[in-house]
């Protein structure tokens, strides 16, 4: 049993699909990018910060993650409104971007962090398509104003890297860190 320091239903769905036994609660930490901080350093710092904060409250191992959509080292967060989402989708249209997910696992006095970087290429997205996508409700609350596992999959021309990392929790990296903490998801699933 471990604790997921997140309130993301997407991360929970990934862990549920793996048959993981965990508790779950989000952690509120300052998620502002530090001056001069690279996107990869930011997601690793935030994942570690969430794990550290949750580690003070939970005796079990703690898993935390942070995901950013990155275009030319500009981080696209969650859209604040329709106009913001439309601008993001226009910038993502017809080009590649990176999705970076930092994963941290903390147990006892030990902490490990790992980075998953996935290259995603979108086809051209017309303004009408972007508007229809916004009106679907899916982009709200999603980094980069899209969810690859939903309707935005229609925009994806190519992906190189971890699909689950784009969703918000890269399976390979997560399993690797949990195994270091003594939590073997495969053995756990096989014994159930």
| Residues designated catalytic | 66
Nearest to 2 by CA among 177, 191, 190: 177
The CA angle 145-92-127, to the nearest 5 degrees, is 80
Beta bridge partners of 160: 119
Rounded distance, CA 14 to CA 18, Å? 6
Write phi, then psi, for 108 (nearest 5 degrees). Answer: 55, -130
Nearest of 120, 105, 185, 127 to residue 153 by alpha carbon: 120
Beta strands 22-24 and 2-4, pairing class: parallel
Q: Are strands 2-4 and 61-71 parallel, antiparallel or unpaired?
A: parallel
């Amino acid at each position: 049993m471990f604790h997921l320091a997140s309130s993301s239903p997407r991360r929970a769905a990934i862990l549920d699909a793996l048959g993981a036994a965990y508790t779950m609660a989000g952690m509120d930490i300052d998620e502002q990018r530090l001056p001069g901080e690279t996107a990869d350093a930011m997601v690793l710092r935030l994942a570690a910060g969430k794990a550290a904060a949750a580690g003070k409250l939970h005796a079990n191992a703690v898993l935390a993650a942070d995901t950013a959509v990155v275009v030319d080292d500009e981080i696209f967060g969650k859209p604040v409104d329709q106009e913001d989402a439309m601008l993001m989708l226009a910038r993502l249209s017809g080009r590649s971007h990176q999705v970076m997910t930092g994963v941290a696992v903390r147990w006892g006095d030990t902490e490990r962090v790992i980075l998953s970087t996935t290259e995603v290429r979108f086809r051209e997205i017309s303004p009408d398509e972007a508007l229809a996508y916004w009106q679907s409700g899916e982009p709200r609350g999603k980094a980069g104003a899209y969810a690859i596992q939903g309707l935005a999959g229609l925009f994806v021309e190519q992906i190189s890297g971890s699909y689950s990392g784009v969703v918000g929790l890269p399976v390979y990296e997560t399993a690797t860190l949990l195994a270091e903490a003594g939590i073997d998801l495969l053995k756990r699933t096989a014994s159930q």
